Amino acid sequence: MAAERFAYGPGTALVVVDVQVDFADPTGSLHVRGGEEVVPLVNAEVEAATAAGSPVVFTQDWHPEHTPHFAADGGTWPVHCVAGTPGAELHPALVVPEGAPRVRKGTGAEDGYSGFSELDLASGRREATVLGDLLDAHGVRRIVVVGLAGDYCVRATALDGAARGLAVRVPLALTRFVQLAEGDDERAVAEMRAAGVEVL
Ligand code: VGL
Ligand code: ZN
């Protein structure tokens, strides 16, 4: 794959999705296969973006102990990224520039796959996180979405970004997929491309 680099600058933000211990570390409770491999690559991207004056935003999956998002409470997933626990921390090897904003999602009874919004599973209502306003405040028109996982939070963030009218890029080298079902990676890529996301 071409190691093409996004032309970073103030109008372009780097959104680093959920590079947290539970996803990115082999000891994590919802380890995404190969997640640890993206950490140094994401670090290089953070450095390139920062050097060019791009805002860099970090998202964190940030759940209560009980949520319909977890299998134990009727949902899909093993318990992961419980607010304030070590598993919810950003991966210790991840470079986080001082003052870089963190957007926490899935904090209530929601599926918080997208960095931009949360879906309340009980009411079916979708509510915005601070990410959209934050990017607007910086005059951002383009985003690069990297991190974990390609078939869930990266995909949902990229789709929401495109729906907001942003130009969105997803470099596949900087993500990994959960693959609950075989082919989820290809389906996620196809869905993103169909929505106008540039998947590299
Ligand atoms: C995610 C599954 C459950 C993700 C979050 O960050 O992609 N996946 N919660
Ligand atoms: Zn989650």
pLDDT digits (tens, 9 = 90+) for 80-113: 999 999 999 999 999 999 999 999 999 987 778 9
Q: With a threshold of 0.75, does the pTM exceed it?
A: yes
Handedness of CA 84, 88, 91, 95 (dihedral sign): negative
- Does ligand 1 come within 6 angstroms of the Cβ of 149? yes
Report pLDDT for 6.
61
By most ligand atoms within 8 Å of CB, the mutation choice from 15, 30, 110, 154 for ligand 1 is: 30
Cα of 77 to ligand 2 centre, how many Å? 7
For residue range 108-165, what is the model confidence (pLDDT) as tens digits? 877 789 999 988 877 888 889 999 999 999 999 999 999 999 999 999 999 999 999 9
| Atom of ligand 1 at shortest range from CA of 156 | 7
pLDDT mean over 3-27: 89
Domain limits, the chain: 12-195
Q: Class for domain 12-195, per CATH?
A: alpha beta
Report pLDDT for 2.
42
- Does ligand 1 come within 6 angstroms of the Cβ of 177? no
